[in-house]
Structure formats: C-alpha cells, structure tokens
Copies of this chain bind each other. A is one copy, B any other.
Amino acid sequence: MSSERPGAGPASLATGLACPVPFTDTDRVLLGHGSGGTMTADLIARCFLPAFRNEYLARLDDQAVLPAAGGRLAFTTDAYVVTPLFFPGGDIGTLAVNGTVNDLAMAGARPLYLSAAFILEEGFPLGDLHRLVASARAAAERAGVLVVTGDTKVVERGKADGCFVVTSGLGVVEHAAAISSDRARPGDLVVLSGPIAAHGAAIMAARADLELDTPVVSDTAPLHRLVAAMLATGADLRCLRDPTRGGLATALNELADRSGVGIVLDERAIPVEEPVRGLLELLGLDPLYVANEGRLVAVVAARDADRLVARMREHPEGRQACIVGEVVADEDRLVVLETAVGGRRIVDRLAGDQLPRIC
C-alpha cells in the first residue's frame, strides 16, 4: 500500500533535509498531505525524514529491508490515542516509542526497529506534529532503536481527534529464558520496578487542568535495558509485564489467570509517590488500576528474588524495585490485597473503563 514515501528526490535529500523548512504557527494538516502526492512528499521531507533519518528510511521505499537478525524475533504493535497529546513528562510521540519498546522488552527482546503510522485529522497544527515527531525521535535515540518505515493518512475534520499514532516494533530474543505469562508457580515472588500510577495520574491532571503544588509527571520510559540487566543475573524470571492500561491490578490478574494461580499482594509494600496518591484520592481512583508506562512487574522464583531486586536497584529505571507479593495456589485464580490495616480484599479485573484514552 501507500505509494507514500515519494520523497523529494536526491537533490532535496542532500540539501533540504538537514535543515528543513520549519512549519509556521498557522500551518495545518490538509487532506492533500495524505494523498501520496507532492504534499505528502513535502511532509515526509520536512518532518519525518529529518527526524528519524537512517539508511533504511532514506530509501523511501514502501518497506524497509533490514539485515538478518540472529535469533528469534519479537514483533508487537500498539495504537496510541492518548488525550491530551501533550502531558507532563511526555507526549504521544514519547509514549508510542517507549510503549512499543517495552512490549518487546517484556519478552526479554532487544528492540531494534520501529514503524510509525500516523492518522491525522485535517486541520491538525503541523507545528504540533513536528513537536511530537521530535519527541518520538528523542525517545527512539534514548532507547537505541531506529524508526525504519512509516505511513501517513489524513481524514476529514471531525473524523479523528488530532493525531493517532500506531507503532510496531521488531526485536531479537537473544536469551534462552522462558518468560511467559503462564509460568507463575506457587511460592514465586512478585517484584515491582518502582512506584505505580504516575502515568495515569499525570494524564488525569492534564485533562482536568489541575494546578498541583507538586507536579505529577508521567513515568514513561524504556525498560529494555533494565530487563537485560535482570536477565543477566540468571534469576529464574517466570513472567514479565508492563502494567499499562488497567494498571497493576489487571496485569496481575492476567498472570494469575494464565498461570492458574493466585497472587497475594502486600499493600504496604506497593510504592505510590505522595503527589500521585494525593491526586488519585482527590479523583477517587485506585492506584492499582491506574496505567503505568515505565514500570514492570516480574514474577521470579523465590530463591532469586533478593538478588534480582538488588540488581534492579542499581539501574535508573529500577531504583525503587521491591517485592510486593507472592504467588499462591488458588483454583479461583484470585489476586488478593492484604491491606495496610490488616484486612484482605479481592483485587478484581477492571470491568469497564476507568480511564479512557490513557495511552
């Protein structure tokens, strides 16, 4: 599909792209930017190519041809419809890169390449597009991945919501560990990489336009290097998840369900930063169900847990890693929270939608 990356020819590739003509405040996305014709070529030459520049993308073909990868492949896709597009700690561009990198990381894969497809609403400010593409580029650089292919479509005003981004990711699995959501066993321990609920809280604060004494900032971050460090310990890692939509509660319910076990959580052990906790109390939201974008939860054999946590704490994304619970035998596959006041409550899956369009 998409005879889209027609490029602007070798001449402009050589000259124009290094210093593209910036968009003005009044430049808007027009239907013609999705035509596959000269306006599409102009958008690619001025916005996407200079941001993501690499040898694969620069070929301007409808696909990237990449070197053979020496191992099993990890492949993932995610659609991003977050609103607002820009929020404290990131934007849809950051999120689209980190989220897809993290889905690869959760298989213990080394992320290599991303694709990026944009669905733009007619009238969307090109300056905003440029900003979020710049964020995606910065996130890709930080994560060490290349955006090697892409697509842009434009729909009429009122038929989308500014900008949706869909990223797919390709990585290589270079370890032999069997990480899977069905491998949790009674006696295993549950390890969390850091405080929860910051991403969802930041989005809600941005939506409500709340003025907070201490700003709440999204935790979006790439986690593949943390996972590589975890794998290098040799710990028997059973399951890995990034608790995004639906939060920690949903991620653990999935693991319990798939593995046929129960999980008991210690509420006092689960870190939630004070500003996040305060904001969520104000909004009446349970941090266990609020989305995270730079956190992971792991199930690990009990004998390896302390060693794993110690190693995670040496890593920037795991400084507050801690053991938060235990896997137990339970035919009903329940996730149970032992509360700070000594009670027990069942932490069910999210039924409906607590926080729509959080990612």
A residues whose Cβ falls under 8 Å from a Cβ of B: 1-4, 6-7, 9-10, 30-32, 34-41, 59-81, 95, 99-100, 102-104, 106-107, 109, 113, 115-119, 148-156, 158-161, 164, 166, 168-170, 173, 180-182, 241-246, 250-251, 253-254, 257-258, 260, 293, 333, 349-354, 356-357, 359
Could you say which of B60, B107, B156, B159 contacts A65, with CB atoms under 8 Å apart?
A: B107
CB < 8 Å neighbour of A74 from B6, B66, B80, B173: B66
Q: Which of A77, A170, A253 has the most CB of B within 10 A?
A: A77
Name the contact of A354 in the complex, choosing from B35, B118, B166 (C-beta under 8 A): B35
Minimal Cβ-Cβ distance residue in B for A351: B38
The answer to whether A180 and B61 have CB atoms under 8 Å apart is yes
A107 to B150, CA, bound (A): 15
Q: Are A103 and B38 in contact (CB under 8 A)?
A: no
How distant is the Cα of A1 from the Cα of B200 in the complex, in angstroms? 13
8 closest Cβ contacts across the A-B interface?
A: A36-B245, A1-B99, A37-B350, A77-B115, A168-B168, A63-B76, A36-B246, A35-B353
Residue numbers in B under 8 Å from A2 (CB-CB): 78, 99, 103, 244-245, 359
A80 to B116 Cα, complex, angstroms: 13
A153 touches B63 (CB 8 A): no
